[in-house]
Amino acid sequence: MAFTDQPSGLQQTFDPEGLLHRMTNQIRRSLELPEILTATVAEVRSFLGTDRVMVYRFDSDDSGEVIAESIHEQRLPSLLGLHFPANDIPQQSREMFIAARQRAIVDVANGKIGLSPLCLPETNEPIDTENIHYRQVDPCHIQYLTALGVQSSLVVPILHRDLKEESAKPELWGLLVSHHSQPRSILPWELKLLQQITDQVEIAIAQSNLLSETRSQRQQQALINQIAILLNQLPTIQFQAALESTITAFGGTGGRLYIEQSRELYTWGEQPQLPYESKSIVIEQHPVWQNWMAECKQGQVLAIPDLYKETHLRVLAVGFQPTKIRGILIIPLYYRNCFLGVFSIFRPEFDTEILWAGRCDQNQRQRQPQLSFDVWREQKKGQAPEWKLEDIVLGQALGYHFSMAIQQQQMYQQVQVLNTNLEQRMQEQTGELEKSLLFTKVIKQITEQIRSTLDLKITLQTIVQEVRPLLNSDRVLIYKISDESDGQVIVEEINGSYPSVLGIKAPPRCFPDEYARLYIQGRVRAINDVSTATLSDCHREFLQNLQVQANLIIPINMGTQLWGLLIAHQCDAPRNWQDGEIELMQQLADQAAIAIQQAQLYEQSHTAENQAKAKAQQLERTLYELRQTQTQLIQNEKMSSLGQLVAGVAHEINNPVNFIYGNLSYANDYTEQLLKLLRLYQSHYSQPDSEIRSLEKAIDVEFVAEDLPKIISSMQVGADRICSIVQSLRNFSRLDEAEHKPVDLHEGIDSTLLILQHRLKTTVNFPGVKVVKDYGDLPLVRCYAGQMNQVFMNILSNALDALEMHAGNNQSFIPSICISTRVSADNSFVLIRIADNGPGMTEEVKRRIFDPFFTTKPVGKGTGLGLAISYQIIVEKHGGIIDCVSEVGKGTEFWMEIALNPQCKVNNQYINSLLPSSERWQVK
C-alpha cells in the first residue's frame, strides 16, 4: 500500500468529514465497545475500498487477537477470533508504535515500507507535517504478508491512556489494520483521516473501560449491601445465606465460614475431605492450617490460584484431590487484632481452547516466517483460576462485614448471658414490684373495658373475673343494694366446687342500718376469720352457710348513695388481707362506680335518642304525606282546570253546533223542495224570458242544482264530526259523570289521543307519529274515569316529548306509539300497555321516574309530578300495578294493571301471565 500525493477520482468525491461525523456519532450513541469497533472497521473498509479492515488487540502476554473485522466479498480469508503469537510483532515495533505513534505502510510488490510518525521519539513532540520514511521491508515480513494473501497493508496503532490519572503513560492497546489483495496507494488526507478515526476509537476505548469499571463497582457495592443486610439481622444473623450469596458472586463452586470462638462451620457447595485419620476435625482446626493463619496479617487476603503449588497446603492438599477445586481465596477475619475465624472461597480448575492463526511452534518461528494461517486449536487442561485485583478488594470489603457480624453476634450472646444472670439475681427483689404492676395492669384493663363498652353487666363481670385470680381468693362477687335496703348478688367468679351465690339475698334485718351509713362514708371491712370476728349471730351464720371463712368488703358509692358492695371470699381457710390487696379492691370499686355512672348516662341518652328517632320518623311520615297531598292537589288542580276548560269549550261549541246540526235536516228538505219546484218551472216554461235565461246562464243553474245537495251533505258530515269531538271532550273531562263507575277505557284513551291530535300530526320539523291501536275486547272497568284519563295523558305526553326530541336528532327516524289492551285469562285483571320507539331510559333514570319532582326535561318544560301522580292513581287509588320496561336505544313501554273486581289485589306475577311473550309489543 504505497503512499502518494496524487488523489484518484473516486477518492476526490469521498466526504471525509461525513465519515468522521458518523464515527463520532457512533461513539457518542453507544458505550458498548464491540458495537463501536464493528462500525469502525465497516466504515474504514468502505472508505479505503480495501479487501479487509480489522482491529487487532494485544493480550497481557503480548499475543494478540482479531476482535473486529470487515471483509469485502470474501477476497481475503476471515481472521476474526484468531490469536497471533507475541513474536509476530517484534518488541521494537511495539515500542515505536508507543513512542512515535508511527503508522506503517507496506507495499509488498515493491518490497518497501513507509513509516509515518506523529511524534519525535526523542522528545515526544508532535510533527506538524507528514514525514514519511521509506526503506526496504524485511523479507520475512514480505513472506508473512504474502502468506496472508496481502499485497498492500496499512497499520495504525491504537493507544490507551488511563483517564483517571493525568500522569499515566500510554499503553499499546491494539492496531487498526487494512489489508488489500492488490497494490494500493494511500493519500496524505486519507492517512490523516484514519488517524482522526483512530483517535475517536481511543476515546471510545477509554470511555468503555470507565463504563466497565463503573458497572463493576456498582455491582460490587450492590453485593456488599446485600451481604451487609443479611449480616445485620440480629438476633438471627443469616450467615448461611450470606455465605451462599458471596460464593455465587465470586463464581465459586463452594466455600466455608469458620468461627473460631464457637467452632461453628458453615459450608456450601463442593467441599474437601481430610483423610480418614483426620475426619474428627475440620480443616480450619488442623494444626497446619492454624499455624498458617497465625502467620497472616490483619487485613490480608490470600489469593491462591493453584493450591497444589502452595507450600502451606501440602499436607491438606490431599483432601482436595477428589474434587475439582484448584483455586482458593482465603479471608482471615479479625476484629481489633482478635482472630475471629476464616472465610474460604473455592474455584474449580478449567479447560481452555484458543484458536490460533496457524500452528504455533516457537522453535520454527525463530528460524522462518509462518507460511500457513489455517486455524489451529490449542487446548489446555486443568488450568488454574486467576484471582484479579477486584476479587481481592471485594474479599477485603466482605471480610470486614463478616468480622463485624461475628463480633456483633458474640456481643449479643454475651449480653444475653448477662441479662439472664441479672434476671436471676433480681427475681426475688422484684416480686412485690411485679405484683404491683400486675395490679396496675388489671386496673388498666378494667378501665379500658369500661371505655370500650357501655354494657354494665359485662364490665362488672370483667372486674370479678380479673380480681379473683389476682387475689387468689375462692370467690369474688358484687352485691347490689336496692332502694328498700335490700339487695342481691348480680355477678360472681368462683374457683373450686363452692356453691354459687348468684341472685342470693341477705336475710332481712340481719345487718344493722349503721352499716350502710359507714359504707357511704367509705368504710372498708376486712374479716380475717369469720369464727373469731365480732359479728352478729345472723351475720356469722349467713357467711358460714356460704362456706366463707374470711372476706373483704369494699363499698361502691355513687356520690352520697351506696350502690353496692365489692366482696372477696376466702372459703378454704382464714386469711390475713394485705394492704395492697385492700388498695386494689378500693381502686376497682371506684372503677365500678365510674362504669355504673356511664351505663346510667348511656341508658338515658339511648332513651332520649330513641324518642328523638321516633319523633323524626313521625315528622318524616308527616312530611311525606304532606308532599303527597301537595303533589295530588297540584295535579288535581291542573286536571280540574283542564277538565273545566275542556268542558267549557265543549259546552260553548255544543250550543251553536246543535243549532246547525238540528237545522241541517230542514235545510236539506227545503233545498230538495225548491229544486223540485225549479225543475217543474223548467218543464212547463221551456221558453222563459230573456232576463231569466241570462240569469240562468250567469249562475249556472244546472251546476247549482247538482252541487247544492252535495254541500248540504258535506255540512252534515262536518256537523257530525264536530259533535263527535265535543262528545270526546266531554268524555275526557268526565264532569257530568259519577266519580267511581264502570267506564269504557277505550273511550278515555281515544279522547286523550284526540286532545293530543295536534302533536301527532306531521309538521315541517316533525314527521308525525304513527299510532297503532291493538285493543282487546274489554268490559266496562269500574274506576275513576277522570283520573285514568289523567294517567293516559301523562304517559302519552311523556312519550311524545321523547319522540320529538329523538326525531330532532335523527332525520330518518319514524316515531310510533303502540297502545295495547288485554284481559287476563281468569277475567280478573285488565292490562294496558303504551309503548314508544324513542331513545329509552338508563337504569338510573328508570329507578327514579316515579319519584315526585324528578324530571329529565329542561327547566320550564316539566314539573316531575306526572308519573308520580300516575303511580298514586294506579297503585293507591285503584290497587293496581304500574311498571316500566325500557332500554337505551330500544324505546320505553309502560304496563298498567287494574282489577276488574275491586276486591281483587293485583299480583306482580300476573304481569307475565296476562299475555304470551310472542304477543308483546316489540319497540322498533
Q: What is the pLDDT of residue 917?
A: 40
The 3-state DSSP class for residue 914 equals coil
Tell me which residue has cell 505513534. 101
In the chain (924 residues long), the average pLDDT of successive 10-residue segments reads 48 62 73 86 89 92 90 89 85 82 83 78 62 77 84 91 74 92 85 86 85 84 84 82 89 91 90 71 84 84 88 83 89 89 89 76 54 73 82 88 87 84 72 65 70 74 81 86 72 87 79 73 84 83 86 84 86 86 81 79 81 84 72 61 64 74 79 83 80 82 81 76 64 53 89 85 86 92 85 89 86 90 90 93 87 74 74 86 91 92 51 41 35
Helix (H) or strand (E) holding 240: helix 239-249
Q: Are strands 112-116 and 816-823 parallel, antiparallel or unpaired?
A: unpaired
Which tens digits make up the pLDDT trace of 639-691?
556 556 666 676 677 778 777 777 777 788 888 888 888 888 878 887 788 88
Measuring CA to CA, which residue among 258, 256, 311 is closest to residue 285?
A: 258
- Enumerate residues 6+ apart whose C-beta is below 8 A from 77: 149, 373
| 528 contacts 548 by C-beta, under 8 angstroms | no
**What torsion do the CA atoms of 214, 215, 216, 221 make, to the nearest 10 degrees?**
90
Please state, in angstroms and rounded to a whole number, the distance separating the CA atoms of residues 680 and 433: 146
Measuring CA to CA, which residue among 789, 622, 374 is closest to residue 630?
A: 622
Please state, in angstroms and rounded to a whole number, the distance separating the CA atoms of residues 354 and 378: 5
How many other C-beta atoms lie within 10 A of the C-beta of residue 789?
25
Helix (H) or strand (E) holding 558: strand 550-558
Please state, in angstroms and rounded to a whole number, the distance separating the CA atoms of residues 573 and 159: 103
Please state, in angstroms and rounded to a whole number, the distance separating the CA atoms of residues 590 and 563: 12
- Beta bridge partners, 569, equal 475, 551
| 477 contacts 501 by C-beta, under 8 angstroms | yes
Please state, in angstroms and rounded to a whole number, the distance separating the CA atoms of residues 731 and 650: 10
Q: Are strands 816-823 and 770-774 parallel, antiparallel or unpaired?
A: parallel
Which tens digits make up the pLDDT trace of 43-55?
889 888 899 999 9
Concatenating the DSSP letter of every residue in 647-715 gives HHHHHHHHHHHHHHHHHHHHHHHHHHHHHHHHHHHHHH-SS--HHHHHHHHHHTHHHHHHHHHHHHHHH
| 360 contacts 374 by C-beta, under 8 angstroms | no
How many residues are present in the chain?
Answer: 924
Q: What is the pLDDT of residue 920?
A: 37
- DSSP secondary structure code for residue 877 in this structure: I
- Enumerate residues 6+ apart whose C-beta is below 8 A from 785: 734, 737, 741, 743, 748
Residue 34 CB burial class (10 angstroms; 0-12, 13-18, ≥19): exposed
Helix (H) or strand (E) holding 289: helix 287-295
Read off the C-alpha cell for 66: 482479531
Read off the C-alpha cell for 131: 514525514
Read off the C-alpha cell for 662: 238540528
* Ordered strands of the 550-558 beta sheet: 487-494, 475-481, 561-570, 550-558, 525-527
Q: What is the pLDDT of residue 738?
A: 43
Please list, residue by residue across 556-572, b when 16 or more beta carbons sit within 10 angstroms of its beta carbon and e when fewer do: bbeeeebbbbbbbbbbe
CA gyration radius, the chain = 59
Q: Residue 854 carries which side chain, given as an amino acid letter?
A: F
Please state, in angstroms and rounded to a whole number, the distance separating the CA atoms of residues 415 and 438: 27
CA 488-490-491 angle, to 5 degrees, is 135
Residue 174 φ/ψ, nearest 5 degrees: 180, -165
Q: What is the pLDDT of residue 451?
A: 64
